[in-house]
Structure 1
Amino acid sequence: MTSDGLRGEGASTGADGPVEADGRVDDQAPDDDATVERAARHMARELCAGFRYHDRGEREAATASFAAVDRRQFAHLDEAAARRAARAYVDALWAKDDLEADHMVDDCIDPASIGDGDWGPVHDALAERADAVGMDPAYATATTRAWRSHKANDDYWTPMLRAQLIEFRAASGDHDYPNKPSDGREGFGAAPVRYLLGVELHDLHDEACWEEAVQVMEPYYARILRSHRDD
């Protein structure tokens, strides 16, 4: 699939919401459930497109897709700040790629050595993202740990859930999420678990799994958009 084809899955089609001349879904807060669902679908497709662009080494396209998501999920940010947050995330991904290249054995990442590599540049870029968004800087530490453990074939899911709880709270403005009434209060809530499932589907690199990842992430973004509408 070409870059234009990936953009066609999300930003450049009118099926996912009101579309402006430059292909973006209208940035106004959705005011009805149908519009929320269309916008959430658009965001989920852009998120997946961003990761697919990264897999293909298309840095600017990845930044554009992640910025389209950040512009909508972080309603308190202006255009420049959302772009800064997205670019920092992409910088972290590419710093991770550089680290992976230094720990290749027979064209495969060496899980035994990459965990001991220098993850400082990755953390620094993620800290820049946290600063741009105004979220807990622990996001950078947790995400770095998750990515490192993911490559080292260790428990990456616990720090990933922790990081996405921080990001979801920052996006939704609900700093008490998941607001469980009694049981399981130490859990991370359904939203971070959805994100983790998306990562698991990404790891399979299968077209059907990509589409499933979009479906998994739609409710994640719909909840964020509804929180903006209800504020």
Structure 2
Amino acid sequence: MTRNEPTGGHETHREADRTLKNPDQIDADEADESVEHVARHMARELCAGFRYHDRGERDAAVESFAEVDRRQFAHVDEDTARRAARAYVDALWAKDELETDHMDGDRIDPESIRGGDWGRVYDALAERAAVADIDREYATATTRAWRNHKANGDYWTPMLRAQLLEYRAAVGDENYPTKPSDGREGFGTAPVRYLLGVELHDRHTRDHWEEAIRVMEPYYRRVLRAHRAD
């Protein structure tokens, strides 16, 4: 998901924030222990984090992503989860700077950015992987996905791989997905949900953001249920 939001004025932004983040539900896991409630909160915070990124609000993006990471990475303490969130935001901002360096007029030059130096992006993602105990391949796959997304290439395959690795770390299951028979080489439903969220993000409308929240709720429900089953 990348920074590219149509301008619509402060009132539009405030209305969108009310939709994405219900102030009465910020302390979701403390106020209501239901998996459904907390999963909805996480999905809203994920989408809010990307909206803040689109608008260049770095500290707010860290706060939203940290709300997600401290719940999905239950195997690390809150300070470590926050470091993971901050590293992710560092990667997003490094990507933004790279995009600026490869503009052709008012658009990114796909060929130019494909050959750009993505080292700082990779390093930040590798930091996230290290602190959250995600397989290091996550950094390689996510960097490739973001690069291909901007270069109009196949971003979906490395994105699915990256989210498979992150999801495995979140649920503590290195064998995910397990299937009874056909399609055993697939990525599983969780990474596919995340990819759909990326596609919805790229539309940049409130209706699509709301749909992205609904798409991601089952993702986080499964994460939370895996934690409670331990």
Give the TM-score taking structure 1 as reference length. Answer: 0.91
| Residues 149 and 156 in structure 1, CA contact (< 8 A), matched pair in contact too | yes
- Equivalence map 1:1-231=2 (5 Å): 1-2=12-13, 6=17, 9-10=20-21, 12-14=23-25, 23-26=26-29, 30=33, 35-231=34-230
Q: 5+ residue gaps in structure 2?
A: 1-11
Stretches of structure 1 that go unaligned for 5 or more consecutive residues are 15-22
Contact (CA 8 Å) 1:51, 1:62: kept in 2 or not? yes
SS in 2 for 1:226: helix
CA 1:114–1:46: 2 relative to 1, 3 Å: same
- What is the Cα deviation at residue 91 of structure 1? 0.1
User: Quick one: which amino acid aligns to residue 144 of structure 1?
Assistant: T
Amino acid at match of 1:48: C
1:76-134 deviation digits (Å, cap 9, x = unpaired) = 11111011000000000000000000000111011111010000000000000001101
Letter in 2 for 1:25: A
> Contact 1:29–1:228 (CA<8 Å) still a contact in 2?
no
Contact 1:161/1:193 (CA < 8 Å) preserved in 2? yes
CA change 1:138–1:7 in 2 (3 A) is farther
Is this contact kept in 2: 1:7–1:49, CA < 8 A?
A: no
How far residue 135 of structure 1 moved from its aligned partner, in angstroms, is 1.2
Corresponding residue for residue 5 of structure 2:
none
**Aligned-residue CA RMSD (Å):** 1.7
State TM-score, norm by structure 2: 0.91
Which structure dedicates a bigger proportion of its chain to helix? 2
- Mapped to 1, the partners of 2:182 and 2:220 lie a distance apart of 25
- Name the count of aligned residue pairs: 219
Seq. identity, %? 69
CA contact (8 A) 1:194 1:216 kept: yes
Tell me which residue corresponds to 1:19.
none
Q: CA separation in 2, counterparts of 1:167 and 1:88?
A: 14
CA distance in 2, matches of 1:120, 1:3: 35
Q: Supply the distance in 1 between the matched residues of 2:214 and 2:133 (Cα, whole angstroms).
A: 28
Q: Distance in 1 between matches of 2:134 and 2:226?
A: 17
The answer (yes or no) to whether the contact 1:11–1:46 under 8 Å persists in 2 is: no
Q: 1:216 to 1:8 in 2, by over 3 A?
A: closer
1:4 Cα deviation after fit: 8.9
Matching residue's letter, 2:229 = D
Displacement of 1:210 in angstroms is 0.3
